[in-house]
């Protein structure tokens, strides 16, 4: 039979607080470098941080540490919250940040950018494009009619053919009426995201007896 191979984290993947403290400094240094390669600025006030299993593990470990979570039930709540942000093969998952530093700029831009979480497009070198999708659970919490949140969670679903086309010349663009910007992905970012996509032709199943 065929079974989906998941990259999602389980309870056994998360260290308890004492164990995490022993490795936290080195893990944080590793994550700073990794996040730098996986972060893309689009224009002056929007950036995307592409998530993977390592970045989400770091997020959960930091939440467990900050909230002093010591029960399995508490860790499972964090897993349920953040596991949807780990891309499976053929997916890219990102946190979208609207980076505003003053109350004045927030009052100006957040009403203007309603719907921006549906306005991000991945343009492939063969001119095909993939529009992002929004996780329904997060959208229910963050979507408003007259003002947007400063953080959104988005996913790109690529077909096997689109996975094969992904490479040099791939562009991230925003086509929101109030914010039209684009940027070509760097070689370092392309390398990271290609790992997320994996082999698109074999992205769904493995054979089990």
- pLDDT at position 173: 98
Helix H or strand E encompassing 98: strand 91-98
Going from the C-alpha of 93 to that of each of 20, 28, 88, 202, the distances in angstroms are 25, 21, 9, 19
* Range(s) of the domain holding residue 27: 2-207
Residue with structure tokens 């010349």?
169
Residue with structure tokens 């299993």?
53
- pLDDT at position 155: 97
**pLDDT digits (tens), the chain, 209 positions:** 344 578 999 999 999 999 999 999 999 999 999 999 999 999 999 999 999 999 999 999 999 999 999 999 999 999 999 999 999 999 999 999 999 999 999 999 999 999 999 999 999 999 999 999 997 776 666 666 789 999 999 999 999 999 999 999 999 999 999 999 999 999 999 999 999 998 543 333 333 33
CB neighbours (10 Å) of residue 161?
12
* Selection from 185, 198, 181 nearest residue 113 by Cα: 181
Q: What 3-state DSSP class applies to 108?
A: helix
Instruction: Report the alpha-carbon distance of residue 14 to residue 165 in Å, rounded.
Output: 35
- pLDDT at position 208: 35
- Count of domains observed in the chain: 1
- pLDDT at position 142: 64
Instruction: Report the alpha-carbon distance of residue 52 to residue 58 in Å, rounded.
Output: 10
Instruction: Report the alpha-carbon distance of residue 198 to residue 90 in Å, rounded.
Output: 7
* Cα dihedral 88, 54, 181, 46 sign: positive
CA atoms within 13 A on the CB side of 159: 7
Buried (b) or exposed (e) across 4-19, using 16+ Cβ within 10 A? eeeeebeeeebbeeee
Using CB atoms within 10 Å of the CB of residue 116, give its burial: 0 to 12 exposed, 13 to 18 middle, 19+ buried.
Answer: buried
Which is it for strands 120-123 and 91-98: parallel, antiparallel or unpaired?
A: unpaired
Q: What 3-state DSSP class applies to 16?
A: coil
């Amino acid at each position: 039979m065929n079974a989906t191979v998941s990259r999602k984290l389980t309870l056994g993947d998360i260290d308890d607080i004492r164990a995490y403290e022993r490795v936290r400094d080195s893990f944080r240094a590793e994550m700073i470098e990794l996040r730098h390669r996986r972060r893309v600025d689009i224009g002056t006030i929007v950036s995307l941080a592409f998530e993977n299993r390592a970045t989400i593990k770091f997020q959960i470990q930091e939440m467990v540490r900050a909230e002093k979570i010591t029960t399995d039930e508490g860790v499972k709540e964090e897993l349920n919250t953040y596991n949807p942000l780990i891309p499976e093969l053929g997916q890219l998952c990102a946190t979208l940040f609207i980076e505003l530093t003053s109350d004045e700029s927030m009052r100006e831009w957040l009403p203007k950018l309603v719907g921006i979480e549906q306005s991000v497009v991945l343009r492939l070198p063969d001119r095909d494009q993939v529009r992002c999708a929004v996780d329904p659970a997060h959208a229910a919490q963050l979507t408003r009619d007259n003002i947007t949140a400063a953080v959104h969670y988005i996913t790109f679903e690529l077909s096997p053919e689109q996975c094969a086309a992904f490479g040099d010349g791939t562009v991230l663009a925003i086509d929101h009426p109030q914010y039209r910007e684009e940027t070509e992905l760097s070689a370092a970012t392309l390398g990271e995201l290609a790992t997320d996509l994996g082999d698109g032709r074999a992205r769904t199943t493995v054979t089990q007896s």
